[in-house]
Structure 1
Amino acid sequence: MSKIQCLRTIRIAERPNLIWVEIETDEGLVGLGESFRGAQAVEAVLHETVAPWLVGRDSRRIEAVSRHLMTPYLGFASASAEVRAASAVDLALWDLMGKRHGIPVHEALGGASRSEIRTYNTCAGYAYNSGTAKGLAAGRRDIGAADVAAGPYDDQIAFMRDAGALAESLLAEGYSAMKIWPLDIQAAASGGQMITLPELKAGLEPFRKIRAAVGDRIEVMAELHSLWSSQAAIRICQGLEDLGIFWAEDPIAKMGDFQTLADLRRQTRVPICGSETLGGAVSYRQMLEAGAVDFVMLDLAWCGGLTEGRKIAALAEAFAKPLAPHDCTGPVTLIAGLQLAIHAPTAIFQEVVRATLATWYRDLVTDLPVIKGGMAQAPTAPGLGTNLLPEVRRREDAAIREYGTPLQPGG
């Protein structure tokens, strides 16, 4: 038995959306998990309902733990606080599994399908998603004359001002795909219910600038952030059709409305990608059965962790759909997504944000994915392959809670 002795949560005020979970066992091992958004709500679930049940159990029984945590009496609806808490615990248990056996998680999952995987750069800035509110204030904002780039990778400012130059910069670093969201700012006027022709033309301009600057040398994804009604989304997707867009992501406001999503898909030639916002394999099965998407995206910190993630990957394979793990949130989620992308047969991309890779992700964890020529290399270290830096828990703005008997108080 590998008995769980302690569950610890760590938050820092500087990154209010992030929460980390450390699970300690009587073997002297520590597993690391993470989730994002509503960190204090996730913390409450972990300490009030999860930890009292989990501490004392066998950390090797990952499937049994997952089935229990992913079927709460209340709270199982997409990526609820309960599901996000279950996701963080699951990632930590898989980290323990790999560390216990001295192998990377992708090997524990059944082995690698590839030694590296293509990345695309989500063109966010250094502070993207750093707030606690949803909507334009969370990072999906207009870029005004007063906005000044905080560094060479402030890519959201770049794609709104000169998307062609940004595409050239990415190609120079080896990235062959990019994702932008210039249409977000058009949604506020109508609450996403409609988009006028002038608004559509303005939102399409960055895509046109990319094609004018670099032609077909880079793939371009359109992120729509679940901001639009179905009819507005249809108009946008049809407007994107002649620009060679790789996919339109999360085009409608209710991505769990699979019939409406399937209806949209039938009315456009642009491939549809969905959805990081879903939780649990059942939702993905229903989405695929409805014929609603061309690409499957999942976030391991929101969908139930690697246990649900590998089931979703198996569904994608069974329905012959490519898989693309999400990351625009935290470093542990990124490296967990990479582990799944290396393992899953139909995975084609791992999302990255070069701005965060170059800055604050490095301030939080010991190791990050190695990217060479736009390709993320398979991790080789045991477990997930990264740990929180010791100084994170020593920060003045750190909030640490423990349940059980830690190996060493405070970690």
Structure 2
Amino acid sequence: MLTVDRSRPVTNAGRVSRVETLTLGTAWRDFSYVRVHTDEGLTGVGEITHPYRGRETCALTEAMAGRHLLGADPFDVEEIWLRLYQGDFLRGGDVGGIVVSGVDQALYDIMGKALGVPAYRLTGGACRDRIRVYANGWYTGEREPGTFAIKARETVKRGYTALKFDPFGAGLGELSRAELRRSVDIVGAVRDAVGPDIELFVEGHARFAMATADRLVRELAPFDLGWFEEPLPWTHIERYAELRANATMPIAGGEHFHNRYEYKPLFATNAVDIVQPDLSMAGGFTEVRKLAALADMHAMVVAPHNSNSPLCTTVSAHAVAGMPNFKILETFDGLLEDYVFDALQGVLPVSDGHVGLGERPGLGVELADEVFEEHPPSGGFWNMFAPGWERRDRT
């Protein structure tokens, strides 16, 4: 493994002197963060949210900091990434992937502050003036075509030009004839409600058997979808290309992979048309840039997954600003309580279906500790395979 002489002169960022974690409780999920300090008084933040294993990601972050971060120059992002991944024998996986991602985000935040430039200036500059986003989470409520239609129209009125939703309820493996018809009717109702100019993305949550997925791509064809996301489990990635050959809409996926090594079979089999790395799961700025380049090599576009907090939205906006093959960014920001934005001071707002380019150094975000203290983690859980999960009643 590469090693760096940590006694050599460093940039004006100084060296990493302390690492801490914080978690904020919300109705959607508990959001977790890492805050990295340097001996020159700079701090950087990153998101380490896991929907169900927040305590584990925080504990691993603090442990890995002691092994690999303290004393490091924040500008040595490639060496630190390698040290975290190879030196800690992570070999991928969700908890480790999230930790590496959040730490990487925090280092870019520090570098931007040290240089006095926004983070996107460190990752290729800008290919665009603003970042187009789509809404998710808007369909919380009863799983009926009429309800989805009403909520879709309300969301479009807020300026969104694209919506994503899961119409399939607790379906797993196969759908009964009645459930299949109901799911297709929901998609049809949403299309009728928003008209032909709004992009619709249907979420499969990686849970259907091949025969059911194949039936669905045919049933959903009339609704002119922007993509069908994760119709099959990733344990059957070798069948994605077969399904793509039968589909009239693009197939999207990749959120469950955490680095280029896990992505290797996706690219090798041309499994999807649209790649969906998550900036808080797939290795942060350092790794997602490489994944975007690999996607471009395979004539694929990139639509980052982002079911996390507005900090990840901000991070993702910085990351895709200079990404030539970027398509659109996911956001749940419209679903969240006002105090989340109080806790994450300076996040880039969603306005008229877009996020603007950041102007402040680094990510431009500071964590308000007092808000975190007022809203501790709840440890809630909602089971996607239980009837009524779309209401998101946490237990």
TM-score by length of 1: 0.82
Asked whether 1:221 is paired with 2:234, we answer: no
**Structure 1 position 360, deviation (Å):** 4.6
**Structure 1 position 396, deviation (Å):** 7.2
**Structure 1 position 74, deviation (Å):** 4.2
**Structure 1 position 348, deviation (Å):** 1.5
> Match for residue 364 of structure 2?
385
* CA shift in 2, pair 1:184/1:265, >3 Å: farther
**Structure 1 position 94, deviation (Å):** 0.8
Note the 1:8-407 alignment, pairs <5 A: 8-12=20-24, 17-37=30-50, 38-71=53-86, 74-77=89-92, 79-124=93-138, 155-157=139-141, 160=144, 161-185=146-170, 187=171, 192-253=172-233, 255=234, 257-356=236-335, 359-395=338-374, 397=376
Equivalent position amino acid for 1:335 in 2: T
* CA shift in 2, pair 1:51/1:229, >3 Å: farther
Whole-angstrom CA distance in 1 between matches of 2:81 and 2:48: 15
Residue segments in structure 2 that go unaligned for 5+ positions in a row:
1-9, 379-395
Aligned residues, how many? 362
Asked if the contact 2:68/2:80 (under 8 Å) is kept, the reply is: no
**Structure 1 position 52, deviation (Å):** 3.0
* CA shift in 2, pair 1:206/1:304, >3 Å: same
**Structure 1 position 352, deviation (Å):** 1.5
Asked if the contact 2:30/2:49 (under 8 Å) is kept, the reply is: yes
Asked if the contact 2:68/2:83 (under 8 Å) is kept, the reply is: no
Q: Aligned to 1:351, what secondary structure does the other structure show?
A: strand
Q: For residues 230-281 of structure 1, give each alpha carbon's deviation from its aligned partner in whole angstroms, at most 9, with x where no partner exists.
A: 222222222111111111111122x254312222212222211012111102
> Match for residue 384 of structure 2?
none
Q: For residues 264-299 of structure 1, give each alpha carbon's deviation from its aligned partner in whole angstroms, at most 9, with x where no partner exists.
A: 212222211012111102333431221110101111
> Match for residue 406 of structure 1?
none
Asked if the contact 1:331/1:368 (under 8 Å) is kept, the reply is: yes
* CA shift in 2, pair 1:194/1:62, >3 Å: same
Whole-angstrom CA distance in 2 between matches of 1:45 and 1:372: 35
**Structure 1 position 357, deviation (Å):** 5.2
Asked if the contact 1:103/1:382 (under 8 Å) is kept, the reply is: yes
Q: Aligned to 2:220, what secondary structure does the other structure show?
A: helix
Asked if the contact 2:49/2:98 (under 8 Å) is kept, the reply is: yes
Q: Aligned to 1:211, what secondary structure does the other structure show?
A: helix
**Structure 1 position 175, deviation (Å):** 0.9
Give the aligned CA root-mean-square deviation in angstroms: 2.2
Whole-angstrom CA distance in 2 between matches of 1:388 and 1:30: 10
| Identical-pair percentage | 27
Whole-angstrom CA distance in 2 between matches of 1:290 and 1:372: 37
